[in-house]
A = this chain, B = another copy of it.
Amino acid sequence: KAQSAQAQITVDITMADDKWTDCVNNLKGVILDMCGVLYDSGEGGGFPIEGSVEAVKRLKASDLQVRFCTNETQATREKFVAKLRRMGFEIDITEVFSPAPAVVAVLKERGLRPHLLVHDDVVQEFDSVDKNNPNCVVIGDAADYFSYQNMNAAFRVLIGLKKPVLFSMGRGRYYKETDGLKLDVGVYMKALEYACDLEAEVVGKPAPMFFEGVLTDMGIQPHEVIMIGDDLMNDVGGAQQCGMKGLQVRTGKYRPSDERHPTVTADGYVDNLAGAVDAILKHRGQ
């Protein structure tokens, strides 16, 4: 009897730790967040998180489809991918989904002319869009460009419109750079929402439309996909709302309190991407 109780306890612990791997047998694709999962950003562009370069290589060599999904809006997608390749990651631009091309598509579809409150290095993504006499505002992670003057300029465009439209490339609260936490675009989105008494349209994670674009590209169903990210709300919560599984890595902006969040619980928590990939491939016998 004592022995059976012992066995029971062992099983429970194993299940609590590895419950998320239950879905791994049906898995056909993996979506990876980038900053905080692949690398830590910071001075000089940042550096890879230990084991991540190898983990991406192993994933891409497996039978799983791999896509990268970022709310990064401080550089064009071209420059961003080039940076990651310099860090050693085998990533192709066609595998990367970011908000700027998505919002450009929406602007063109709706005939909207944006006033941009974005980082100088991402402006180029909007080259093909008419920006004269703006009838909406697009906000991205402008970082140091979030000056009082630039915020006022965006505000005045919005408050002057009969029906103000604000697009936000993401709704993140903060991210981690090598020298500390930094405020993300969501914070300034909330500021303009309050100033103008409106609700922004979010393009990027966790907007379902954004994730659905990635699923369509892979041609597979949500329950066949796992999302791995360091952001509980935008990566994990967003993926789960689309019917995917969501894993949180304990790197990047992860904080221990995330594991006690009142409304969002990840399907699993793993120390880092290398650990997640190791568990996935081991479970699939690869």
Which residue numbers of A lie inside 8 Å of B, CB to CB?
142-149, 151-152, 155-156, 159, 173-174, 180-183, 186-188, 190-195, 197
Selected from B147, B152, B187, the residue in CB contact (under 8 A) with A147 is B147
**Residue in A142, A145, A174, A186 whose Cβ sees the most chain B Cβ within 10 Å:** A174
Residue of B with least CB distance to A197: B173
| Copies of this chain, whole number | 2
* A173 engages B148 (CB within 8 Å): no
Closest CB-CB distance, A254 to chain B, in whole Å?
A: 14
Q: A190 contacts which chain B residues (CB < 8 A)? A: 190-191, 193-194
Selected from B143, B182, B195, the residue in CB contact (under 8 A) with A183 is B195
* B181 engages A156 (CB within 8 Å): yes
* B143 engages A155 (CB within 8 Å): no
Residue of B with least CB distance to A184: B195
Selected from B144, B152, B186, B192, the residue in CB contact (under 8 A) with A148 is B144
* A187 engages B183 (CB within 8 Å): no
**16 A-B pairs (CB sep. < 8 Å):** A144-B148, A146-B148, A151-B187, A152-B180, A152-B183, A155-B174, A155-B181, A155-B187, A159-B181, A174-B195, A183-B195, A186-B194, A190-B190, A190-B191, A190-B193, A191-B191
Residue of B with least CB distance to A194: B190
Residue of B with least CB distance to A153: B180
Closest CB-CB distance, A36 to chain B, in whole Å?
A: 16
Q: A187 contacts which chain B residues (CB < 8 A)? A: 151, 155, 191-192, 194-195
Q: A143 contacts which chain B residues (CB < 8 A)? A: 148
* B155 engages A149 (CB within 8 Å): no
Once the chains are docked, how many angstroms separate the CA of A151 from the CA of B101?
29
* A173 engages B188 (CB within 8 Å): no
* B149 engages A144 (CB within 8 Å): yes
Selected from B151, B173, B180, B197, the residue in CB contact (under 8 A) with A146 is B151
Residue of B with least CB distance to A173: B195
Q: A142 contacts which chain B residues (CB < 8 A)? A: 148
Q: A152 contacts which chain B residues (CB < 8 A)? A: 180-183
Q: A186 contacts which chain B residues (CB < 8 A)? A: 194
Once the chains are docked, how many angstroms separate the CA of A173 from the CA of B159?
11
- 12 extra interface residue pairs, beta carbon distance < 8 Å, beyond A144-B147, A146-B151, A187-B195: A144-B148, A145-B148, A146-B147, A156-B180, A173-B197, A183-B195, A186-B194, A187-B192, A187-B194, A188-B191, A190-B190, A190-B194
Once the chains are docked, how many angstroms separate the CA of A142 from the CA of B145?
17
